[in-house]
Chains A and B, each alone.
Chain A
């Protein structure tokens, strides 16, 4: 395939709403995607991410608001007039056509009036770019899941659209193949520079692929930012819990100040937070303390900050070990290097890393402290 200088189109949602009966599928969505950007829509099922994609594709009509692609208002435009291509979770390959016929199908559409030879040439070009030339004469049911996935991708690429919509395209593949396809997708985006909107519920996919991630919950966009920003500065507890390989350790309680600095009090557990000024603001308030697993380590001798705990479980995870330890009946999950000699039943001192600590309002979930610093979005 030839490298194309032109990039994809920009996408803009403004004030888009969609309801199904009494349930709000999408609430007041404002989202601006830059040309050529790779954006993931991330969230649990029913959070509104697929609704967003279907509205963008023109398969659903929003109740309110506007959708612009490349600056053009497409809100009331039918799907075929939007210059987009979509890859569906089940690939939607036409079972009665060969791979070649599937790839040629978008080019044979009535409005496109392409020459037969040009279609054949283009199909071969795309098949070659994706390494599926040898499959052209096969039927979709005769090829593997990964190959079907490539054909679906090829069918989207074949007419060079400004915008690609991908709806959980890797979720039907096995784990290893998924990682390979993830890399291939990234490479493909580097080459095509089209705008890609990618729906997924897998946070690691979103993290590794995207320029920016939009996190949804309950029909509302929670945060739209580059992956690392979302990881470091989650706007609320939901986002913090959703991003990251393991769920954050959380602790419901209050911050109290003592001579030794602030402590987090949760039931009978008193967890020193250090002397930093940050914590003092939230004294007496009902809060949730959040610490990612990478923020919980085993303290060496002489380190004071932390609490005593008993190791319950140790998992080997390649380059490191993940352990679960109880302190005052509260379970903590942390990480230690692969070579550390940790055994079930050991009594250890947990060390909490200051810059991995987060604080959230207990009732609203809004972030108060992010990575040991006052939250960027704080009141």
Chain B
């Protein structure tokens, strides 16, 4: 390697490290502080490592009902992902492979819907859900989340299907399989990268959402984790320990999933790069 190449490599690495640090340091700080005692956290000369390592914060949040919030979050997120994938994978297939009247209009409206900010839909959504008595239910939240996320799932799936050679499907059709069977046995197994990318998209939204959940849910028993975390601000005044502990409980599962699946996630986003 030439010296100039080495220099540019080092420069690029330095910039990457800087960006990564900016993103990660607050989280690392939060993680370390969640194991600190209250005095430790508020020490005037802040220290990275806890002086006395304690699980007290975690124990207290679970005593305060975080287990229930966690359960609700898992239930709602799983339900949303399942519904979005079930509908999106089939709808995307229709868009990718069939010509039908109004196809262009459908495609355009799917893209248009993606650009509407969720906040602007909150009031109408609330009114609608109240009409059909789904306010304050986990099912209602699943349906609303799915409605918001379905367009992007359809889009991810349709673009990925288009990268698969159509001969595979023709071959299965000629061999005596229906469209639905072909989708199930040939197309979906080959679309794993797109399915995983779509899952992570939907999951991130459903898991992290605060504003929709806080609007639609009022009973404590159905609340999801983000609202639970918010409530710690009220319940404990400014008790940073439990708040940080609850934040970590909500962050860790998602981060772990992303790390485990990031290979497929990137493949899904670049579309068709990885097959089989």
**Shortest CB–CB separation between residue B251 and chain A, in angstroms?**
34
Whether a CB of chain A sits under 8 angstroms from the CB of B167 is: yes
On whether the beta carbons of B276 and A110 are closer than 8 Å, the reply is: no
| Residues A68-113 near B (CB distance < 8 A) | 78-80, 82, 84-86, 88-90, 92, 94-96, 105-106, 109-112
Q: Mark B181-218 against chain A: 1 for CB-CB distance below 8 A, else 0.
A: 10000100110000000000000000000000000000
Q: Name the contact of A80 in the complex, choosing from B167, B177, B189, B190 (C-beta under 8 A).
A: B177
On whether the beta carbons of B170 and A96 are closer than 8 Å, the reply is: no
- A109–B173 Cα distance when bound, in Å, is 10
On whether the beta carbons of B276 and A79 are closer than 8 Å, the reply is: no
Instruction: Return the chain B residue nearest A139 by Cβ.
Output: B276
On whether the beta carbons of A96 and B276 are closer than 8 Å, the reply is: yes
Q: Which residues of A contact B171 (CB under 8 A)?
A: 86, 88, 92, 94, 155
Q: Mark B141-183 against chain A: 1 for CB-CB distance below 8 A, else 0.
A: 0000000000000000000000001011011111111100100
On whether the beta carbons of A88 and B275 are closer than 8 Å, the reply is: no
Q: Name the contact of A109 in the complex, choosing from B177, B189, B275 (C-beta under 8 A).
A: B177
**Shortest CB–CB separation between residue B146 and chain A, in angstroms?**
28
Instruction: Return the chain A residue nearest B169 by Cβ.
Output: A92
On whether the beta carbons of A110 and B190 are closer than 8 Å, the reply is: no
On whether the beta carbons of A78 and B173 are closer than 8 Å, the reply is: yes
On whether the beta carbons of A111 and B170 are closer than 8 Å, the reply is: no
- A36–B274 Cα distance when bound, in Å, is 42
Instruction: Return the chain B residue nearest A111 by Cβ.
Output: B176
Whether a CB of chain B sits under 8 angstroms from the CB of A177 is: no
Central interface residue in A78, A85, A96, by most chain B CB within 10 Å = A96
Q: Which residues of B contact A85 (CB under 8 A)?
A: 174-175
| Residues A208-254 near B (CB distance < 8 A) | none
On whether the beta carbons of B168 and A94 are closer than 8 Å, the reply is: yes
Instruction: Return the chain A residue nearest B176 by Cβ.
Output: A109
On whether the beta carbons of A57 and B177 are closer than 8 Å, the reply is: no
Q: Which residues of B contact A92 (CB under 8 A)?
A: 165, 167-168, 170-171
- A206–B176 Cα distance when bound, in Å, is 29
Instruction: Return the chain A residue nearest B189 by Cβ.
Output: A96
On whether the beta carbons of A95 and B167 are closer than 8 Å, the reply is: no
Central interface residue in B173, B176, B190, B276, by most chain A CB within 10 Å = B176
- A288–B145 Cα distance when bound, in Å, is 72
Q: Mark A135-152 against chain B: 1 for CB-CB distance below 8 A, else 0.
A: 000010100000000000
Check A79/B189 contact, CB under 8 A, given A94-B168, A141-B276: no
On whether the beta carbons of B186 and A106 are closer than 8 Å, the reply is: no
Check A84/B174 contact, CB under 8 A, given A95-B190, A141-B276: yes
| Residues B256-276 near A (CB distance < 8 A) | 275-276
- A95–B187 Cα distance when bound, in Å, is 11
- A95–B168 Cα distance when bound, in Å, is 9
On whether the beta carbons of A86 and B276 are closer than 8 Å, the reply is: no
Q: Mark A117-159 against chain B: 1 for CB-CB distance below 8 A, else 0.
A: 0000000000000000000000101000000000000010001
**Shortest CB–CB separation between residue A100 and chain B, in angstroms?**
15
On whether the beta carbons of B175 and A109 are closer than 8 Å, the reply is: yes
On whether the beta carbons of A106 and B176 are closer than 8 Å, the reply is: yes
On whether the beta carbons of A80 and B275 are closer than 8 Å, the reply is: no
**Shortest CB–CB separation between residue A12 and chain B, in angstroms?**
20
On whether the beta carbons of A90 and B186 are closer than 8 Å, the reply is: no
Q: Which residues of B contact A82 (CB under 8 A)?
A: 174
Q: Which residues of B contact A109 (CB under 8 A)?
A: 175-177
Check A105/B174 contact, CB under 8 A, given A88-B167, A95-B190: no
On whether the beta carbons of B174 and A86 are closer than 8 Å, the reply is: yes
On whether the beta carbons of B276 and A88 are closer than 8 Å, the reply is: no
Whether a CB of chain B sits under 8 angstroms from the CB of A330 is: no
Q: Name the contact of B173 in the complex, choosing from A79, A96, A141 (C-beta under 8 A).
A: A79
- A58–B171 Cα distance when bound, in Å, is 11
On whether the beta carbons of B186 and A94 are closer than 8 Å, the reply is: yes
Q: Which residues of A contact B165 (CB under 8 A)?
A: 90, 92
Q: Name the contact of A57 in the complex, choosing from B174, B181, B276 (C-beta under 8 A).
A: B174
Q: Name the contact of A95 in the complex, choosing from B172, B174, B177, B275 (C-beta under 8 A).
A: B275
- A159–B172 Cα distance when bound, in Å, is 13
| Residues A319-360 near B (CB distance < 8 A) | none
Central interface residue in B175, B178, B276, by most chain A CB within 10 Å = B175
Q: Which residues of B contact A111 (CB under 8 A)?
A: 176
Q: Which residues of A contact B175 (CB under 8 A)?
A: 80, 85, 105-106, 109, 155, 159
On whether the beta carbons of B186 and A110 are closer than 8 Å, the reply is: no
Instruction: Return the chain B residue nearest A165 by Cβ.
Output: B174
- A117–B175 Cα distance when bound, in Å, is 19
Closest 8 CB pairs of A and B: A109-B176, A92-B167, A106-B175, A95-B276, A88-B167, A80-B176, A92-B171, A79-B174
Measured CB to CB, the residues of B under 8 A from A are 165, 167-168, 170-178, 181, 186, 189-190, 275-276
| A-B contact list, 23 entries, CB within 8 Å | A57-B174, A78-B173, A79-B173, A80-B173, A80-B175, A80-B178, A86-B170, A86-B171, A90-B165, A90-B167, A92-B167, A92-B168, A94-B168, A94-B186, A95-B190, A106-B176, A110-B177, A110-B178, A110-B181, A111-B176, A139-B276, A155-B175, A159-B175
